[in-house]
Amino acid sequence: MGVIEKVLRSLLGSDEEELYILDCLAYLMLLIALGTFFTLLFENTPYGRYTSSTYGFPVHVKMAWFVQELPAFLLPLSLILWASPLKITVLPNQILLGMYFCHYVQRSLLYPFLIRGGKPTPFASFALAFLFCFYNGYLQVRYLSQYADFPQGWVSHPCFITGSCLWFLGWIINLHSDHILRNLRSPGETGYKIPRGGAFEYVSGANFLGEIVEWVGFALAAHSVHSFAFAFFTFIVLSNRAVSHHKWYLEKFEDYPKSRKALIPFVF
């Protein structure tokens, strides 16, 4: 038994007790998502162009992204390396864990250092993001590495295949959209510009659409309340950002493409 496994056992008890806790955490995340939905009806997420001193002192944007996303990578990595995972050799679990780590290696170790400019992040937003990454990192990876038990042949099931394809499509859209946003301004330029190309031809929140599609695909392939809670929370937060960005672009730019939707191409 690994060191982390011993710590978890001393804190959480038996496998049955820990699985019960993981289930409760998933349902709690669903409740938090609903609470977030109602809160965001009256208040924009305080970051970037919506930053306000009301939400605490500013944290440098690169530092904020690096530190707040790091628990989503380091804690799961620790669980894999030092917690004697039971399901790590099972193919569906390996693929799903690969999806998770593929996203968060990029998001925590690469993305923060590729950011060009960017406004500081209010401490409240930074702290909440840090806590969520810690919470969700434990929830997703502990369940997949220790408890997720899939039927034989699950990797050839339509849910797994469709979900995996959606995850990959969303990942590509997210990466490409981030690339477009990073290169909107030439070195030394300031101010905002209209993003063009890729999924931005159809929606204002192309980067948000990509990440939502990623985790919806992940949830379909993983087929658990834990992955569904993550996808649902992601949808609630990022759809709000997409709608806010869309309204802001329409107000800011007279020549903003009128056919472009907020989040779902041709629909919304």
The rounded average pLDDT for each run of 10 residues, N- to C-terminus, in the chain (268 residues) is 69 82 97 94 68 70 92 94 85 97 95 83 91 97 95 96 98 97 79 91 97 98 98 96 93 93 94
| Confidence at residue 51, expressed as pLDDT on a 0 to 100 scale | 60
| Confidence at residue 58, expressed as pLDDT on a 0 to 100 scale | 84
**What is the rounded CA–CA span in Å between residue 83 and residue 6?**
8
Q: Would you tell me the crossing angle of helices 71-82 and 61-69 to the nearest 10 degrees?
A: 30
Candidates 184, 166, 188; CA nearest to 253 is: 184
| Confidence at residue 1, expressed as pLDDT on a 0 to 100 scale | 58
Q: Is 195 exposed, middle or buried (0-12, 13-18, 19+ CB in 10 A)?
A: buried
Find how far residue 138's CA is from the centre of its chain.
14
